[in-house]
Amino acid sequence: MQLNWVALTVFILLFGFITWLGFAAAHWRRGDLNQLHEWGLGGRRFGTLITWFLLGGDIYTAYTFIAVPALAFGTGALAFFAVPYTIIIYPILFIVFPRLWYVSRKHGYVTAADFVRGRFGNRWLALAITITGIVATMPYIALQLVGLQVVIGAMGVTGEGFVGDIPLIIAFIILAAFTYSSGLRAPASIAIVKDLLIYVTAFAAAIVIPIQLGGFGKIFAAIPAEKLLLAVPQGQTTGAYSAYATLALGSALALLLYPHTMTATLSATSGHTVRRNAALLPAYTFVLGLLALLGFFALADGVDKLPEFAEGFRQFKNNFAVPALFLHHFPSWFAGVAFAAIGIGALVPAAIMSIAAANLFTRNIYREFFNAHVTDKQEAQMAKWMSLIVKFGALIFIVFLPLQYAIQLQLLGGIWIIQTLPAVLVGLYTRWLNPWALVIGWAAGTFAGTYMAASVNFAASYPLAIGGWTFPGYIALYTLILNLVIAIVLTPVMNALGVNPEDQTAAADYYA
Amino acid sequence: MDDNRAYPWSWWYLLLLAEFIPALWVSFYNSVEPSWVGIPFFYWFQMAFVIASAAVTAVVYFATGRA
Protein backbone atom coordinates (compact mmCIF):
# COMPACT_ATOMS: atom_id res chain seq x y z
CA MET A 1 0.00 0.00 0.00
CA GLN A 2 1.15 3.51 -0.84
CA LEU A 3 1.61 5.92 2.02
CA ASN A 4 -1.40 8.26 1.93
CA TRP A 5 0.21 11.56 2.99
CA VAL A 6 -2.94 13.68 2.94
CA ALA A 7 -4.97 11.28 5.08
CA LEU A 8 -2.01 10.73 7.40
CA THR A 9 -1.49 14.49 7.91
CA VAL A 10 -5.16 15.05 8.79
CA PHE A 11 -5.02 12.03 11.10
CA ILE A 12 -1.89 13.26 12.90
CA LEU A 13 -3.26 16.80 13.29
CA LEU A 14 -6.49 15.54 14.88
CA PHE A 15 -4.54 13.11 17.02
CA GLY A 16 -2.25 15.90 18.17
CA PHE A 17 -5.26 18.00 19.11
CA ILE A 18 -6.82 15.32 21.30
CA THR A 19 -3.45 14.62 22.92
CA TRP A 20 -3.33 18.24 24.07
CA LEU A 21 -6.97 18.03 25.12
CA GLY A 22 -6.35 14.87 27.16
CA PHE A 23 -3.65 16.55 29.24
CA ALA A 24 -5.53 19.86 29.53
CA ALA A 25 -8.54 17.95 30.86
CA ALA A 26 -6.83 17.61 34.25
CA HIS A 27 -7.73 21.27 34.88
CA TRP A 28 -11.34 20.89 33.78
CA ARG A 29 -13.87 21.20 36.64
CA ARG A 30 -10.88 21.01 38.85
CA GLY A 31 -10.86 18.42 41.58
CA ASP A 32 -8.28 16.81 43.82
CA LEU A 33 -6.91 14.08 41.57
CA ASN A 34 -5.36 12.43 44.62
CA GLN A 35 -8.78 11.02 45.46
CA LEU A 36 -10.07 7.95 43.70
CA HIS A 37 -13.56 9.29 43.06
CA GLU A 38 -12.02 12.41 41.46
CA TRP A 39 -9.45 10.60 39.30
CA GLY A 40 -11.58 7.54 38.58
CA LEU A 41 -15.10 9.02 38.45
CA GLY A 42 -14.46 12.65 37.50
CA GLY A 43 -15.83 13.67 40.90
CA ARG A 44 -19.34 12.37 39.99
CA ARG A 45 -20.03 15.73 38.39
CA PHE A 46 -20.68 15.04 34.71
CA GLY A 47 -23.95 16.54 33.49
CA THR A 48 -26.33 15.20 30.86
CA LEU A 49 -24.28 16.19 27.81
CA ILE A 50 -20.88 14.97 29.04
CA THR A 51 -22.40 11.73 30.29
CA TRP A 52 -23.95 11.31 26.87
CA PHE A 53 -20.58 11.63 25.15
CA LEU A 54 -18.86 9.46 27.73
CA LEU A 55 -21.38 6.61 27.67
CA GLY A 56 -21.56 6.95 23.89
CA GLY A 57 -17.78 6.64 23.66
CA ASP A 58 -17.98 3.67 25.98
CA ILE A 59 -20.69 1.63 24.34
CA TYR A 60 -19.92 2.39 20.70
CA THR A 61 -16.22 1.65 20.45
CA ALA A 62 -13.73 1.66 17.59
CA TYR A 63 -13.93 -2.09 17.49
CA THR A 64 -17.71 -1.88 17.13
CA PHE A 65 -17.37 0.58 14.26
CA ILE A 66 -14.95 -1.74 12.46
CA ALA A 67 -16.30 -5.15 13.45
CA VAL A 68 -20.05 -4.65 12.95
CA PRO A 69 -19.72 -3.53 9.30
CA ALA A 70 -17.09 -6.27 8.85
CA LEU A 71 -19.61 -8.84 10.08
CA ALA A 72 -22.24 -7.39 7.74
CA PHE A 73 -19.74 -7.60 4.91
CA GLY A 74 -18.82 -11.19 5.69
CA THR A 75 -22.00 -12.72 7.11
CA GLY A 76 -24.83 -10.36 6.20
CA ALA A 77 -28.07 -9.71 8.07
CA LEU A 78 -26.93 -11.32 11.35
CA ALA A 79 -24.67 -8.30 11.97
CA PHE A 80 -27.74 -6.11 12.35
CA PHE A 81 -28.41 -7.68 15.76
CA ALA A 82 -26.26 -4.78 16.99
CA VAL A 83 -29.31 -2.56 16.44
CA PRO A 84 -31.90 -4.32 18.65
CA TYR A 85 -29.02 -4.97 21.10
CA THR A 86 -28.35 -1.27 21.48
CA ILE A 87 -32.08 -0.51 21.59
CA ILE A 88 -32.91 -2.71 24.57
CA ILE A 89 -29.95 -1.51 26.63
CA TYR A 90 -31.75 1.73 27.33
CA PRO A 91 -35.02 0.65 28.97
CA ILE A 92 -32.86 -1.36 31.38
CA LEU A 93 -30.48 1.55 31.94
CA PHE A 94 -33.47 3.81 32.62
CA ILE A 95 -35.15 1.60 35.19
CA VAL A 96 -32.24 -0.05 36.97
CA PHE A 97 -29.21 2.23 36.93
CA PRO A 98 -30.55 5.25 38.83
CA ARG A 99 -30.85 2.88 41.81
CA LEU A 100 -27.21 1.91 41.48
CA TRP A 101 -26.24 5.57 41.18
CA TYR A 102 -28.05 6.61 44.37
CA VAL A 103 -26.85 3.75 46.53
CA SER A 104 -23.29 4.27 45.25
CA ARG A 105 -23.21 7.95 46.08
CA LYS A 106 -24.72 7.36 49.49
CA HIS A 107 -22.03 4.81 50.41
CA GLY A 108 -19.14 6.10 48.28
CA TYR A 109 -19.09 3.04 46.03
CA VAL A 110 -16.79 3.38 43.01
CA THR A 111 -17.28 -0.09 41.47
CA ALA A 112 -20.00 -2.72 41.16
CA ALA A 113 -17.95 -4.94 43.47
CA ASP A 114 -18.04 -2.18 46.12
CA PHE A 115 -21.82 -2.35 45.98
CA VAL A 116 -21.89 -6.15 46.18
CA ARG A 117 -19.48 -6.06 49.13
CA GLY A 118 -21.75 -3.64 50.99
CA ARG A 119 -25.00 -5.29 50.02
CA PHE A 120 -24.08 -8.91 50.69
CA GLY A 121 -21.28 -8.45 53.21
CA ASN A 122 -19.23 -11.22 51.59
CA ARG A 123 -15.73 -10.34 50.40
CA TRP A 124 -15.38 -13.54 48.34
CA LEU A 125 -18.48 -12.75 46.32
CA ALA A 126 -17.11 -9.24 45.79
CA LEU A 127 -13.78 -10.78 44.73
CA ALA A 128 -15.56 -12.96 42.16
CA ILE A 129 -17.24 -9.85 40.73
CA THR A 130 -13.90 -8.00 40.71
CA ILE A 131 -11.89 -10.69 38.96
CA THR A 132 -14.63 -11.25 36.41
CA GLY A 133 -14.69 -7.52 35.68
CA ILE A 134 -10.94 -7.20 35.23
CA VAL A 135 -10.53 -10.37 33.16
CA ALA A 136 -13.48 -9.51 30.90
CA THR A 137 -12.20 -5.98 30.33
CA MET A 138 -8.62 -6.80 29.31
CA PRO A 139 -9.36 -8.39 25.91
CA TYR A 140 -11.89 -5.63 25.27
CA ILE A 141 -9.10 -3.06 25.59
CA ALA A 142 -6.92 -5.18 23.33
CA LEU A 143 -9.60 -5.20 20.64
CA GLN A 144 -9.75 -1.41 20.64
CA LEU A 145 -6.18 -1.53 19.41
CA VAL A 146 -7.31 -3.63 16.48
CA GLY A 147 -9.48 -0.73 15.30
CA LEU A 148 -6.46 1.54 15.58
CA GLN A 149 -4.24 -0.96 13.76
CA VAL A 150 -6.64 -1.24 10.82
CA VAL A 151 -6.88 2.51 10.19
CA ILE A 152 -3.12 3.01 10.56
CA GLY A 153 -2.62 0.22 8.03
CA ALA A 154 -5.22 1.77 5.71
CA MET A 155 -3.16 4.95 5.53
CA GLY A 156 -0.27 2.91 4.18
CA VAL A 157 1.81 2.97 7.36
CA THR A 158 3.21 -0.53 7.34
CA GLY A 159 6.36 -2.32 8.31
CA GLU A 160 7.66 -5.74 9.06
CA GLY A 161 7.46 -7.18 12.56
CA PHE A 162 8.16 -4.83 15.44
CA VAL A 163 8.64 -1.74 13.25
CA GLY A 164 5.08 -2.14 11.97
CA ASP A 165 3.76 -1.83 15.51
CA ILE A 166 5.59 1.39 16.36
CA PRO A 167 2.69 3.77 15.44
CA LEU A 168 0.41 1.68 17.63
CA ILE A 169 2.86 1.83 20.50
CA ILE A 170 3.19 5.62 20.19
CA ALA A 171 -0.60 6.03 20.24
CA PHE A 172 -0.74 3.84 23.30
CA ILE A 173 1.94 5.71 25.20
CA ILE A 174 -0.01 8.94 24.59
CA LEU A 175 -3.19 7.27 25.83
CA ALA A 176 -1.49 5.89 28.92
CA ALA A 177 0.10 9.22 29.78
CA PHE A 178 -3.02 11.35 29.67
CA THR A 179 -5.12 8.74 31.45
CA TYR A 180 -2.54 8.65 34.21
CA SER A 181 -2.46 12.40 34.62
CA SER A 182 -6.11 13.38 34.02
CA GLY A 183 -8.13 10.27 34.95
CA LEU A 184 -11.70 10.02 33.67
CA ARG A 185 -11.71 13.70 32.66
CA ALA A 186 -9.41 12.82 29.72
CA PRO A 187 -11.69 10.37 27.90
CA ALA A 188 -14.70 12.57 28.77
CA SER A 189 -13.24 15.56 26.94
CA ILE A 190 -11.82 13.55 24.05
CA ALA A 191 -15.14 11.73 23.62
CA ILE A 192 -16.71 15.02 22.53
CA VAL A 193 -14.26 15.39 19.62
CA LYS A 194 -14.46 11.72 18.71
CA ASP A 195 -18.23 11.64 18.59
CA LEU A 196 -18.56 14.78 16.50
CA LEU A 197 -16.15 13.20 14.00
CA ILE A 198 -18.08 9.92 14.05
CA TYR A 199 -21.41 11.64 13.42
CA VAL A 200 -20.00 13.65 10.49
CA THR A 201 -18.38 10.54 9.03
CA ALA A 202 -21.39 8.25 9.39
CA PHE A 203 -23.91 10.68 7.92
CA ALA A 204 -21.60 11.71 5.08
CA ALA A 205 -21.02 8.05 4.20
CA ALA A 206 -24.70 7.12 4.45
CA ILE A 207 -25.64 9.96 2.08
CA VAL A 208 -22.74 10.16 -0.38
CA ILE A 209 -22.00 6.48 -1.00
CA PRO A 210 -25.59 5.43 -1.87
CA ILE A 211 -25.74 8.31 -4.37
CA GLN A 212 -22.47 7.21 -5.95
CA LEU A 213 -23.67 3.60 -6.08
CA GLY A 214 -27.00 4.52 -7.69
CA GLY A 215 -29.40 4.34 -4.71
CA PHE A 216 -30.37 1.90 -1.98
CA GLY A 217 -32.44 -0.17 -4.40
CA LYS A 218 -29.36 -0.97 -6.47
CA ILE A 219 -27.19 -1.62 -3.40
CA PHE A 220 -29.56 -4.14 -1.82
CA ALA A 221 -30.26 -5.77 -5.19
CA ALA A 222 -26.54 -6.57 -5.37
CA ILE A 223 -26.53 -8.35 -1.97
CA PRO A 224 -26.75 -12.15 -2.31
CA ALA A 225 -30.05 -13.54 -0.95
CA GLU A 226 -28.39 -15.56 1.83
CA LYS A 227 -26.83 -12.39 3.23
CA LEU A 228 -29.81 -10.07 2.71
CA LEU A 229 -32.05 -11.67 5.34
CA LEU A 230 -31.73 -14.22 8.13
CA ALA A 231 -32.26 -17.80 7.02
CA VAL A 232 -35.84 -18.88 7.79
CA PRO A 233 -35.65 -21.80 10.27
CA GLN A 234 -36.46 -25.18 8.70
CA GLY A 235 -37.62 -28.21 10.69
CA GLN A 236 -37.43 -28.55 14.47
CA THR A 237 -35.17 -25.61 15.20
CA THR A 238 -35.59 -21.93 15.94
CA GLY A 239 -32.51 -21.36 13.78
CA ALA A 240 -31.17 -17.92 13.07
CA TYR A 241 -34.19 -16.26 14.73
CA SER A 242 -33.38 -17.38 18.26
CA ALA A 243 -29.68 -16.76 17.67
CA TYR A 244 -30.41 -13.19 16.61
CA ALA A 245 -32.79 -12.41 19.49
CA THR A 246 -30.69 -14.02 22.24
CA LEU A 247 -27.53 -12.33 20.95
CA ALA A 248 -29.28 -8.98 21.16
CA LEU A 249 -30.70 -9.57 24.65
CA GLY A 250 -27.61 -11.24 26.11
CA SER A 251 -25.24 -8.62 24.69
CA ALA A 252 -27.38 -5.85 26.16
CA LEU A 253 -27.34 -7.40 29.63
CA ALA A 254 -23.61 -8.11 29.43
CA LEU A 255 -22.76 -4.61 28.27
CA LEU A 256 -24.51 -3.02 31.24
CA LEU A 257 -22.41 -5.12 33.60
CA TYR A 258 -19.00 -4.25 32.15
CA PRO A 259 -16.91 -2.17 34.56
CA HIS A 260 -16.50 0.66 32.07
CA THR A 261 -20.29 1.06 31.79
CA MET A 262 -20.47 1.26 35.58
CA THR A 263 -17.69 3.86 35.66
CA ALA A 264 -19.35 6.09 33.08
CA THR A 265 -22.76 5.73 34.77
CA LEU A 266 -21.48 6.47 38.27
CA SER A 267 -19.64 9.56 37.06
CA ALA A 268 -22.96 11.21 36.19
CA THR A 269 -24.09 14.03 38.41
CA SER A 270 -27.38 12.37 39.42
CA GLY A 271 -29.60 9.37 38.80
CA HIS A 272 -31.75 11.78 36.87
CA THR A 273 -28.90 12.41 34.42
CA VAL A 274 -28.69 8.67 33.83
CA ARG A 275 -32.39 8.52 32.96
CA ARG A 276 -32.22 11.46 30.62
CA ASN A 277 -29.36 9.72 28.84
CA ALA A 278 -31.40 6.58 28.32
CA ALA A 279 -33.63 8.64 26.05
CA LEU A 280 -30.75 10.42 24.31
CA LEU A 281 -28.26 7.59 23.74
CA PRO A 282 -30.27 5.84 20.98
CA ALA A 283 -28.90 8.57 18.67
CA TYR A 284 -25.71 6.49 18.70
CA THR A 285 -27.67 3.33 17.95
CA PHE A 286 -28.94 5.02 14.81
CA VAL A 287 -25.37 5.84 13.78
CA LEU A 288 -24.30 2.28 14.52
CA GLY A 289 -27.09 1.07 12.22
CA LEU A 290 -25.80 3.40 9.48
CA LEU A 291 -22.29 2.05 9.97
CA ALA A 292 -23.58 -1.54 9.78
CA LEU A 293 -25.12 -0.59 6.44
CA LEU A 294 -21.65 0.46 5.28
CA GLY A 295 -20.76 -3.23 5.35
CA PHE A 296 -23.49 -3.84 2.78
CA PHE A 297 -22.33 -0.86 0.70
CA ALA A 298 -18.85 -2.39 0.65
CA LEU A 299 -20.34 -5.74 -0.37
CA ALA A 300 -22.41 -4.22 -3.19
CA ASP A 301 -19.43 -2.20 -4.33
CA GLY A 302 -17.11 -5.22 -4.34
CA VAL A 303 -14.23 -3.29 -2.73
CA ASP A 304 -12.49 -6.54 -1.87
CA LYS A 305 -12.04 -7.22 -5.58
CA LEU A 306 -10.21 -3.95 -6.30
CA PRO A 307 -6.47 -4.60 -6.76
CA GLU A 308 -5.40 -1.57 -4.65
CA PHE A 309 -7.13 -3.05 -1.58
CA ALA A 310 -5.97 -6.66 -2.00
CA GLU A 311 -3.08 -6.15 0.41
CA GLY A 312 -5.35 -4.56 3.06
CA PHE A 313 -7.87 -7.39 2.90
CA ARG A 314 -5.11 -9.94 3.09
CA GLN A 315 -3.74 -8.33 6.22
CA PHE A 316 -6.92 -7.28 8.04
CA LYS A 317 -9.53 -9.59 6.44
CA ASN A 318 -13.10 -8.25 6.52
CA ASN A 319 -12.11 -5.56 9.03
CA PHE A 320 -10.69 -3.73 6.04
CA ALA A 321 -14.13 -3.34 4.40
CA VAL A 322 -14.96 0.06 5.92
CA PRO A 323 -11.51 1.66 5.46
CA ALA A 324 -11.48 0.46 1.84
CA LEU A 325 -14.94 1.94 1.30
CA PHE A 326 -13.81 5.34 2.59
CA LEU A 327 -10.63 5.32 0.52
CA HIS A 328 -12.59 4.39 -2.57
CA HIS A 329 -15.43 6.93 -2.26
CA PHE A 330 -13.96 9.96 -0.50
CA PRO A 331 -11.07 12.35 -1.07
CA SER A 332 -8.00 11.53 1.00
CA TRP A 333 -8.49 14.36 3.48
CA PHE A 334 -11.97 13.11 4.39
CA ALA A 335 -10.71 9.54 4.68
CA GLY A 336 -8.21 11.01 7.15
CA VAL A 337 -11.09 12.49 9.17
CA ALA A 338 -12.93 9.16 9.15
CA PHE A 339 -9.81 7.25 10.20
CA ALA A 340 -9.14 9.77 12.97
CA ALA A 341 -12.72 9.26 14.17
CA ILE A 342 -12.11 5.52 14.42
CA GLY A 343 -8.60 5.88 15.85
CA ILE A 344 -9.66 8.33 18.53
CA GLY A 345 -12.71 6.16 19.03
CA ALA A 346 -10.30 3.46 20.17
CA LEU A 347 -8.64 5.66 22.78
CA VAL A 348 -11.80 6.79 24.58
CA PRO A 349 -13.15 3.37 25.57
CA ALA A 350 -9.62 2.03 26.13
CA ALA A 351 -9.03 4.83 28.64
CA ILE A 352 -12.36 4.30 30.41
CA MET A 353 -11.88 0.52 30.50
CA SER A 354 -8.40 0.81 31.97
CA ILE A 355 -9.67 3.26 34.61
CA ALA A 356 -12.54 0.92 35.45
CA ALA A 357 -10.21 -2.06 35.81
CA ALA A 358 -7.84 0.05 37.91
CA ASN A 359 -10.69 1.15 40.20
CA LEU A 360 -11.68 -2.48 40.66
CA PHE A 361 -8.20 -3.67 41.50
CA THR A 362 -7.52 -0.82 43.91
CA ARG A 363 -10.81 -0.87 45.76
CA ASN A 364 -11.69 -4.52 45.78
CA ILE A 365 -8.37 -6.34 45.80
CA TYR A 366 -5.68 -3.97 47.14
CA ARG A 367 -7.75 -2.22 49.82
CA GLU A 368 -9.89 -5.23 50.66
CA PHE A 369 -7.15 -7.84 50.96
CA PHE A 370 -3.79 -6.10 51.33
CA ASN A 371 -4.05 -2.66 52.86
CA ALA A 372 -7.26 -1.84 54.69
CA HIS A 373 -5.83 1.42 56.08
CA VAL A 374 -4.81 2.90 52.76
CA THR A 375 -4.96 6.71 52.57
CA ASP A 376 -6.98 8.46 49.86
CA LYS A 377 -3.79 9.56 48.18
CA GLN A 378 -2.25 6.07 48.16
CA GLU A 379 -5.49 4.67 46.80
CA ALA A 380 -5.58 7.12 43.87
CA GLN A 381 -1.87 6.52 43.19
CA MET A 382 -2.36 2.76 43.13
CA ALA A 383 -5.21 3.15 40.63
CA LYS A 384 -3.06 5.33 38.37
CA TRP A 385 -0.32 2.69 38.29
CA MET A 386 -2.86 -0.06 37.68
CA SER A 387 -4.31 1.80 34.71
CA LEU A 388 -0.82 1.73 33.14
CA ILE A 389 -0.31 -1.95 33.85
CA VAL A 390 -3.68 -2.92 32.40
CA LYS A 391 -3.05 -0.97 29.22
CA PHE A 392 0.42 -2.34 28.64
CA GLY A 393 -0.95 -5.82 29.20
CA ALA A 394 -3.42 -5.19 26.38
CA LEU A 395 -0.68 -3.77 24.16
CA ILE A 396 1.57 -6.79 24.65
CA PHE A 397 -1.40 -9.01 23.87
CA ILE A 398 -1.99 -7.35 20.50
CA VAL A 399 1.65 -7.07 19.51
CA PHE A 400 2.71 -10.61 20.41
CA LEU A 401 -0.33 -12.88 20.23
CA PRO A 402 -2.56 -13.78 17.28
CA LEU A 403 -5.61 -11.55 16.90
CA GLN A 404 -7.84 -14.61 17.07
CA TYR A 405 -7.02 -15.04 20.79
CA ALA A 406 -8.19 -11.52 21.64
CA ILE A 407 -11.43 -12.06 19.73
CA GLN A 408 -12.08 -15.40 21.46
CA LEU A 409 -11.29 -13.93 24.86
CA GLN A 410 -13.56 -10.97 24.25
CA LEU A 411 -16.34 -13.41 23.38
CA LEU A 412 -15.67 -15.30 26.59
CA GLY A 413 -15.56 -11.96 28.41
CA GLY A 414 -19.20 -11.32 27.52
CA ILE A 415 -20.13 -14.78 28.82
CA TRP A 416 -18.20 -14.21 32.05
CA ILE A 417 -19.38 -10.70 32.80
CA ILE A 418 -23.06 -11.62 32.45
CA GLN A 419 -22.58 -14.05 35.39
CA THR A 420 -22.36 -11.04 37.71
CA LEU A 421 -25.96 -10.09 36.92
CA PRO A 422 -27.64 -11.96 39.82
CA ALA A 423 -25.41 -10.25 42.41
CA VAL A 424 -25.34 -6.79 40.84
CA LEU A 425 -28.63 -6.15 39.06
CA VAL A 426 -30.88 -8.50 41.01
CA GLY A 427 -29.03 -7.33 44.12
CA LEU A 428 -30.21 -3.79 43.43
CA TYR A 429 -33.78 -4.94 43.96
CA THR A 430 -33.57 -7.64 46.58
CA ARG A 431 -31.25 -9.00 49.23
CA TRP A 432 -33.13 -12.31 49.21
CA LEU A 433 -30.40 -14.29 47.43
CA ASN A 434 -27.73 -15.74 49.70
CA PRO A 435 -24.15 -14.55 48.93
CA TRP A 436 -22.70 -18.09 48.96
CA ALA A 437 -25.49 -19.29 46.68
CA LEU A 438 -24.53 -16.41 44.38
CA VAL A 439 -20.87 -17.48 44.43
CA ILE A 440 -21.80 -21.05 43.47
CA GLY A 441 -24.19 -19.84 40.75
CA TRP A 442 -21.47 -17.54 39.40
CA ALA A 443 -18.93 -20.37 39.32
CA ALA A 444 -21.36 -22.74 37.60
CA GLY A 445 -22.32 -20.15 34.97
CA THR A 446 -18.70 -19.23 34.28
CA PHE A 447 -17.58 -22.83 34.00
CA ALA A 448 -20.54 -23.97 31.86
CA GLY A 449 -20.24 -20.91 29.59
CA THR A 450 -16.54 -21.45 28.99
CA TYR A 451 -17.10 -25.13 28.30
CA MET A 452 -19.97 -24.48 25.88
CA ALA A 453 -17.99 -21.81 24.02
CA ALA A 454 -15.00 -24.11 23.67
CA SER A 455 -17.24 -26.94 22.46
CA VAL A 456 -18.53 -24.85 19.54
CA ASN A 457 -15.03 -23.61 18.71
CA PHE A 458 -15.59 -20.14 20.21
CA ALA A 459 -18.72 -19.17 18.35
CA ALA A 460 -21.21 -17.01 20.28
CA SER A 461 -24.14 -19.29 19.61
CA TYR A 462 -24.73 -22.77 21.04
CA PRO A 463 -27.30 -25.23 19.63
CA LEU A 464 -29.20 -26.10 22.80
CA ALA A 465 -31.22 -29.30 22.26
CA ILE A 466 -34.35 -29.94 24.31
CA GLY A 467 -36.88 -32.66 23.50
CA GLY A 468 -36.16 -33.00 19.81
CA TRP A 469 -36.01 -29.24 19.25
CA THR A 470 -32.87 -27.20 18.79
CA PHE A 471 -32.62 -23.66 20.09
CA PRO A 472 -29.46 -22.00 18.78
CA GLY A 473 -28.75 -19.08 21.10
CA TYR A 474 -26.22 -16.90 22.82
CA ILE A 475 -24.25 -18.91 25.37
CA ALA A 476 -24.14 -15.99 27.82
CA LEU A 477 -27.92 -15.96 28.12
CA TYR A 478 -28.26 -19.73 28.52
CA THR A 479 -25.62 -19.91 31.23
CA LEU A 480 -27.09 -16.88 33.00
CA ILE A 481 -30.33 -18.84 33.39
CA LEU A 482 -28.37 -21.76 34.86
CA ASN A 483 -26.60 -19.36 37.23
CA LEU A 484 -29.88 -17.80 38.41
CA VAL A 485 -31.58 -21.16 38.95
CA ILE A 486 -28.67 -22.42 41.05
CA ALA A 487 -28.56 -19.22 43.10
CA ILE A 488 -32.30 -19.39 43.80
CA VAL A 489 -32.35 -23.10 44.66
CA LEU A 490 -29.31 -22.89 46.94
CA THR A 491 -30.41 -19.75 48.79
CA PRO A 492 -32.68 -21.53 51.33
CA VAL A 493 -29.99 -24.22 51.78
CA MET A 494 -27.25 -21.69 52.51
CA ASN A 495 -29.54 -19.65 54.76
CA ALA A 496 -30.27 -22.83 56.74
CA LEU A 497 -26.53 -23.35 57.19
CA GLY A 498 -26.53 -19.93 58.81
CA VAL A 499 -24.10 -18.12 56.55
CA ASN A 500 -25.75 -14.82 55.74
CA PRO A 501 -24.04 -11.59 56.80
CA GLU A 502 -25.44 -8.09 57.30
CA ASP A 503 -26.62 -5.73 54.57
CA GLN A 504 -25.03 -2.29 54.91
CA THR A 505 -27.55 -0.60 52.64
CA ALA A 506 -31.08 0.49 53.52
CA ALA A 507 -34.16 0.57 51.31
CA ALA A 508 -34.14 4.37 51.20
CA ASP A 509 -30.61 4.48 49.75
CA TYR A 510 -31.79 3.41 46.32
CA TYR A 511 -33.58 6.56 45.23
CA ALA A 512 -33.28 10.30 45.55
CA MET B 1 -34.05 -8.56 55.28
CA ASP B 2 -35.43 -5.62 53.37
CA ASP B 3 -36.43 -5.93 49.77
CA ASN B 4 -36.75 -2.27 48.91
CA ARG B 5 -40.45 -2.28 48.15
CA ALA B 6 -40.33 1.37 49.09
CA TYR B 7 -38.91 2.25 45.68
CA PRO B 8 -41.72 3.80 43.65
CA TRP B 9 -42.51 1.39 40.85
CA SER B 10 -44.28 3.15 38.02
CA TRP B 11 -46.72 1.49 35.64
CA TRP B 12 -45.13 3.59 32.92
CA TYR B 13 -42.16 1.21 33.09
CA LEU B 14 -44.33 -1.43 31.40
CA LEU B 15 -44.20 0.74 28.31
CA LEU B 16 -40.41 0.55 28.42
CA LEU B 17 -40.45 -3.21 28.86
CA ALA B 18 -42.89 -3.50 25.94
CA GLU B 19 -40.06 -2.22 23.69
CA PHE B 20 -38.48 -5.65 24.03
CA ILE B 21 -41.31 -7.33 22.09
CA PRO B 22 -40.90 -5.70 18.65
CA ALA B 23 -37.12 -5.52 19.10
CA LEU B 24 -36.78 -9.27 19.67
CA TRP B 25 -39.67 -10.58 17.53
CA VAL B 26 -37.37 -11.50 14.67
CA SER B 27 -39.86 -13.44 12.50
CA PHE B 28 -41.99 -10.29 12.32
CA TYR B 29 -39.35 -8.17 10.59
CA ASN B 30 -37.24 -10.72 8.71
CA SER B 31 -38.59 -9.84 5.25
CA VAL B 32 -37.77 -7.71 2.21
CA GLU B 33 -41.29 -6.31 1.71
CA PRO B 34 -42.64 -3.76 2.43
CA SER B 35 -39.45 -2.09 1.29
CA TRP B 36 -38.92 1.67 1.52
CA VAL B 37 -36.85 3.66 -1.00
CA GLY B 38 -35.18 0.39 -1.92
CA ILE B 39 -34.32 -0.54 1.69
CA PRO B 40 -35.67 -3.96 2.76
CA PHE B 41 -38.16 -4.00 5.66
CA PHE B 42 -35.63 -5.85 7.87
CA TYR B 43 -33.30 -2.85 7.82
CA TRP B 44 -35.61 0.15 7.78
CA PHE B 45 -37.94 -1.29 10.43
CA GLN B 46 -35.13 -1.75 12.93
CA MET B 47 -33.72 1.69 12.18
CA ALA B 48 -37.18 3.26 12.56
CA PHE B 49 -37.63 1.37 15.82
CA VAL B 50 -34.50 3.05 17.20
CA ILE B 51 -36.27 6.39 16.87
CA ALA B 52 -39.56 5.01 18.20
CA SER B 53 -37.89 3.50 21.26
CA ALA B 54 -36.10 6.77 22.06
CA ALA B 55 -39.45 8.57 21.82
CA VAL B 56 -41.09 6.05 24.18
CA THR B 57 -38.26 6.47 26.69
CA ALA B 58 -38.66 10.26 26.49
CA VAL B 59 -42.41 9.93 27.14
CA VAL B 60 -41.77 7.74 30.18
CA TYR B 61 -39.10 10.16 31.37
CA PHE B 62 -41.51 13.09 31.39
CA ALA B 63 -44.41 11.02 32.72
CA THR B 64 -42.51 9.69 35.73
CA GLY B 65 -41.00 13.08 36.61
CA ARG B 66 -38.18 13.46 39.08
CA ALA B 67 -38.63 10.11 40.77
CATH class of the A5-403 domain in this structure = mainly alpha
Comparing CB atoms, the residue among B32, B39, B54 nearest residue A279 is B54
d(CA A424, CA A126): 10
CB contacts of A91 in chain B (<8 Å) are 16-17, 19-20, 53, 57
Greater confidence, A403 or A224? Answer: A224
Angle between helices B41-64 and A271-280 (to 10 degrees): 150
Name every residue whose Cβ is closer than 8 Å to that of residue A235 and which is 6 or more positions away in sequence: none
ipTM value for the complex:
0.87
d(CA A27, CA A443): 43
- Domain boundaries, given as residue ranges, for chain A: 5-403
Rounded to an integer, the average pLDDT of A417-422 is 95
Quote the pLDDT of residue A512.
60
d(CA A346, CA A66): 10
Rounded to an integer, the average pLDDT of A43-54 is 86
| Mean pLDDT of chain A, nearest integer | 87
Residue in A68, A95, A101, A270 to test binding to B, most B beta-carbons within 10 Å? A95
Quote the pLDDT of residue A149.
84
Quote the pLDDT of residue B3.
38
Report the gap between the CA of A80 and the closest CA in chain B (Å): 8
Rounded to an integer, the average pLDDT of A250-273 is 90
Contact predicate A87/B53, CB 8 Å: yes
d(CA A230, CA A357): 37
Contact pairs from chain A to chain B, CB under 8 Å: 130
Quote the pLDDT of residue B7.
47
Among residues of chain A, what percentage have pLDDT more than 90? 23
The one-digit pLDDT tens for each residue of chain B (67 residues) are: 333 433 467 788 888 888 888 888 888 888 888 888 888 998 999 999 999 998 998 888 888 875 4
Half-sphere exposure of A278 (CA within 13 A, CB side): 27
CB contacts of B67 in chain A (<8 Å) are 511-512
Question: CB contact, 8 Å: B21 with chain A?
Answer: no
**Helix ranges, B1-67 (H):** 13-18, 20-24, 26-29, 41-64
Question: CB contact, 8 Å: A231 with chain B?
Answer: no
Identity of the residue numbered A475: I
Give the pTM. 0.90
d(CA A175, CA A62): 14
CB contacts of B21 in chain A (<8 Å) are none
* For residue A404, pLDDT beyond 80: no
The pLDDT-based confidence of A1 (bands split at 50, 70, 90) is low
CB contacts of B50 in chain A (<8 Å) are 83, 87, 282, 285-286, 289
d(CA A47, CA A350): 22
Q: Which of A328-342, A392-406, A425-439 has the lowest mean pLDDT?
A: A392-406
d(CA A44, CA A40): 9
Rounded to an integer, the average pLDDT of A183-209 is 88
Rounded to an integer, the average pLDDT of A119-145 is 90
Quote the pLDDT of residue B4.
41
d(CA A396, CA A406): 11
Contact predicate A42/A48, CB 8 Å: no
Question: CB contact, 8 Å: A203 with chain B?
Answer: no
Angle at A16 between CA A145 and CA A143, to 5 degrees: 5
The pLDDT-based confidence of A442 (bands split at 50, 70, 90) is very high
The pLDDT-based confidence of A439 (bands split at 50, 70, 90) is very high
For A163-173, how does the pLDDT look when each residue is reduced to its tens digit (9 = 90+)?
A: 777 888 888 88
CB contacts of B17 in chain A (<8 Å) are 91
Check CB contact under 8 Å for B2 and A282: no
- Domain boundaries, given as residue ranges, for chain B: 23-64
